[in-house]
Amino acid sequence: MEKLTLIKVGGKIVEEDATLNKLLDDFSKIEGAKVLVHGGGRLATKMADQLGIESRMVDGRRITDEETLRVVTMVYAGLVNKNIVARLQALGINAIGLTGADMNIMLSDKRPVKTIDYGFVGDVKVVNADAMAMLLKNGYIPVLSPLTHDKKGNLLNTNADTIAGEAAKALAKLFDVTLVFCFEKSGVLLDENDDESVIPSINREMFEEYKNSGIIQGGMIPKLENSFQAVDAGVKQVIITKASEIYGGKGTLISNG
């Protein structure tokens, strides 16, 4: 089965030219089929502030009303996505920028209101792996922004880690997939203030222990939950690492042991 590397990048990496250029240069050197998924939440918050639109977050998730949806669409599908595509083209990578609505790549249901109304936020329901595989087999490199759609004409804001995990799971039926979550830290850390305290591998039992003891907290919890779901669904390996180490073999390996 053909190898495929799916890289998810977000956080400060997409905000700063130096770190983004380094990541894209490394990404361009990865051999074989590859997909890039990006976030851009900090830039969306900055843009909303400039437009006088309040950003509301609950447990790290953005409340997305109509005004906020316009902002995240501009930032994710426009500013960030096309900037990445243009830079990859300059590196000789024939990239194509996509939302979930393009080619019906990713279909979502609007998140139901329980205790919190998240607004126009999507929970992924169907991923069109065949469409992405068709692009890959014809030499195109998909660059996915964190927007999906409901096939009723609405775009939906969707967590970028979830986009990466769901894409990796769907593509695992057609490729030998390695999923890499990269960000500012060197991996999952025993001490968040010590970048050398990388946990080399984590299984579910360790994850629960670290979570209960408070070593793993915040945004790392959903990242790891997505990782375990991906491994369970047939993704060969999931790695959480520093953006500058996407093919250096470093970071934290997620296993289903």
**Residue 33 confidence (pLDDT) above 80:** yes
Lowest-confidence segment of 8-17, 24-33, 219-228, 248-257 by average pLDDT: 248-257
Output the pLDDT for position 221: 85
Output the pLDDT for position 192: 82
Pick from 117, 213, 204, 119: which is nearest to 157 by CA?
119
- pLDDT tens digits, one per residue of 190-227: 888 888 899 999 999 999 999 999 888 887 888 888 89
Pick from 169, 187, 188: which is nearest to 178 by CA?
169
Q: What is the mean pLDDT of residues 225-230?
A: 89
Contact 162, 226 (CB under 8 A): yes
Output the pLDDT for position 93: 97
Q: What is the mean pLDDT of residues 75-104?
A: 97
Contact 23, 13 (CB under 8 A): yes
- DSSP secondary structure string, 22-54? HHHHHHHH--SEEEEEE--HHHHHHHHHHTT--
- pLDDT tens digits, one per residue of 102-128: 999 999 999 999 899 999 999 999 999
Rounded-to-integer distance, Cα 119 and Cα 122, Å: 9
Query: 47 vs 222, which has greater pLDDT?
Result: 47
Contact 55, 68 (CB under 8 A): yes
Amino acid at 238: V
Output the pLDDT for position 257: 61
Q: What is the mean pLDDT of residues 38-49?
A: 92
Give the Cβ contact number of residue 15 at 10 Å: 15
Lowest-confidence segment of 5-9, 14-18, 121-125 by average pLDDT: 14-18
- pLDDT tens digits, one per residue of 130-178: 999 999 999 999 999 999 999 999 999 999 999 999 999 999 999 999 9
- pLDDT tens digits, one per residue of 244-257: 888 766 899 997 76
- Helix 204-212 and helix 220-232: axis angle, to 10°? 160
**Which CATH class name applies to 3-180?**
alpha beta
Contact 4, 227 (CB under 8 A): no
Output the pLDDT for position 225: 87
